Structure 1
């Protein structure tokens, strides 16, 4: 009976996670592929397929330009397939391309000038960044964002802040010569580094400079997820209000929020490479689905903010110079620009195979993290013990 109850609870959780996950991922993937598609159409490229998802088609239609728009069964991505492509990764079908008459080559992606091909490829990640900025700006305009005065309300014993000499009542006005306007700015700067930081502080009407090195602490959220975050050890002691911004200011704040996510991502990768951070924080599709379901309990605004964060992450990931990703195509184009001719077919083929292996390895590792964190292996082991 306990097993049946567990399975029933899992089924309910599956749907509560799956629907928000599909909502978030579909929006992010659609705009990513729309970026590729729009710029390709602008340059007169013939597009055969625009797909959300992989595998067999669920439903679709043809537009007046002959493009097949479709939704497919496996909702873990999407693709735009240009005329002359061998597959969804835009690997050219050389035999088919060689057989194309000269008067038809003008409509094919692989015969377009180098700068146009690069623009089409870069348009996907750029569309993700634009989507994130629009989401953040819309939330900041219509809902607002929390602004807290940068006052220290207390200092945790034994923390870096205590060792540096911070005291309750201090007002932090700058970090590494960057202006601080809110307590959120402090959290933003501190959470991206474990390097020594210089703080400009106002105390009792005077100015002083303090130095401190954030330390990585484990934080457990309300859902039981453990996050390792660099912290200083100060507590907020000022007032907090929700402020709505005008659209122009909100756009700039959206740009800064997007930049902050990129900065955090590189900071995490840097800590991971240097051994100061574990790779078990990486999330795969299961982890993203779980997070989507948890965030959805806070409402649509929180889910939209997660959509913006995921959009930045996917845009940034696609720019990594790994063959198979957009960044890999751009790497090939950079080599082509330097050499004056493209890489040979064999070199490109080996590159795509290596890229596929790297992407699959990352996917498997992230999924393993998800299953380990959900204690799936312990649960399965318990069934047969």
Structure 2
């Protein structure tokens, strides 16, 4: 078992990982905002006191903050959390108002907000595309070569040679799809569609739970059917096919993340499984010492999750803004300032509560409260 890296390596890897992904996220907002004629007053890499700064010919201050954890873009007119016109906005000249975020049509504001999560997904697709081209795609047919004794598969009557066609109505094309799909249903019933010879049947089986440890001693819980495949090959992937495969993989990860979140909300999974910044930092350090490929793969996974989390309909997040824009589109006018103010207060409380929970989980996982 490998030892976890020291605190200096862990912090360095975490700063590089999160800093890069958040800056890319903010660049999405910046590029689309600039495309629509919105002036960016400030683009900051990091927070806190300014260590370095330069103002470009468009009047945007590019700065580096003392706290290198992410960044932000400040558009002209960002005078309140809801980005709604106020007295200060009305005092601006017509030319200045036309360069503000609030002056743009609803669909343009929505695209500017959506661009942040969207570029996180695109960045992940780019990284996964590179992986596919460089390393190829591992492919195994979803056919049982070995049925483990006493497993969920044996209890369901699955035999060697059976082909798994679908899980809970979702088609599986490879053994890798099968394992990924089953992983989130530990100790839960799933419906399998199975082909044996020319006969197709459905079986419902409660999956086993497998607790695995990685090389650093981290434990992971996943659903297990108890099948193995001995037919594995690595196929080369062309430049044309790789982006489409990477896009499908990204969409699949988002779907599984959404399913897992639903399991936590409904109580099927414990909230203790949620990790926070400290856990991400630990994993970032571990993948960093494993090599460039492992670290880049982790960056793709975190980028997908960053895009997903920001699209949740919670005020203060991009998804919360998009929800308010949807309300505005239906009502043909924005929600009242009071409604927006309370919505953002509620969103702030939710985010603080979430951060407290995941931070507590991190501390527990590190053994802080042992005994």
Report the TM-score, using the length of structure 2 for normalisation.
0.91
User: Pick from 161, 183, 190: which aligns with 1:196?
Assistant: 190
- Residues 168/86 of structure 1: CA separation in 2 closer, same or farther (3 Å cut): same
Deviation at 1:178, TM superposition (A): 5.3
Q: Kindly state the Cα deviation for residue 174 of structure 1 after the two structures are TM-superposed.
A: 4.7
Cα pair distance change 1:106/1:91, threshold 3 Å: closer
Separation in 2, partners of 1:175, 1:268: 16
SS for the counterpart of 1:30 is helix
1:81 equivalent to 2:74? Answer yes
Q: Is the 8 A contact 1:151 1:238 kept in 2?
A: no
Distance 1:165 1:226, change over 3 A: same
**Counterpart for residue 64 of structure 2:** 71
Report the Cα distance in structure 2 between the residues aligned to 1:107 and 1:192, rounded to whole angstroms. 47
- Matches of 1:370 and 1:141 in 2, distance apart? 36
Helix, strand or coil for the counterpart of 1:247?
A: coil
Give the helix-richer structure, 1 or 2. 1
Q: Residues 105 and 91 (structure 1 numbering): CA distance in 2 closer, same or farther, change over 3 Å?
A: closer
Asked if residue 24 in structure 1 is aligned to residue 17 in structure 2, the reply is yes
Q: CA deviation at 1:47?
A: 0.6
Q: Is 2:224 aligned against 1:231?
A: yes
Q: Does 1:42 align with 2:35?
A: yes
Name the SS for the 1:196 alignment partner.
strand
Q: How many residues align?
A: 366
| 3-state SS of 1:57 partner | strand
The C-alpha deviation readout for 1:316-352, integer Å capped at 9, x for no partner, is 1111111110111111111111222212222212211
Pick one of 258, 262, 266 that aligns with 2:254: 262
Equivalent residue, structure 2, for 1:3: none
| Partner residue, 1:120 | 112
Q: Do 1:17 and 1:289's aligned partners in 2 also have CA atoms closer than 8 Å?
A: yes
* Equivalent residue number for residue 109 of structure 1: 101
CA shift digits 1:283-341 (9 cap, x unpaired): 11111011111122332112111111111111111111111101111111111112222
Paired residue for 2:238, among 240, 243, 246? 246
How far apart are the structure 2 equivalents of 1:267 and 1:47?
A: 37
Cross-structure match for 2:126: 134
Range that drifts further, 223-232 or 163-172: 163-172
RMSD of the alignment, in Å?
2.3
Partner residue, 2:308: 316
Residue in 2 that maps onto 1:214: 207
What residue in structure 2 maps to residue 280 of structure 1? Answer: 272
Residue among 332, 337, 345 paired with 2:329 = 337
What's the CA shift string for 1:202-243, capped at 9, x where partnerless?
4xx554535234344332222222222122122x23133332
Corresponding position of 1:146: 138
Which residue in 2 is equivalent to 1:6?
none
Q: Are the counterparts in 2 of residues 149 and 238 from structure 1 also a CA contact under 8 Å?
A: no
Residue number in structure 2 paired with 1:352: 344
Give the C-alpha shift of residue 141 in structure 1. Answer: 0.9
Q: Secondary structure at the match of 1:76?
A: strand
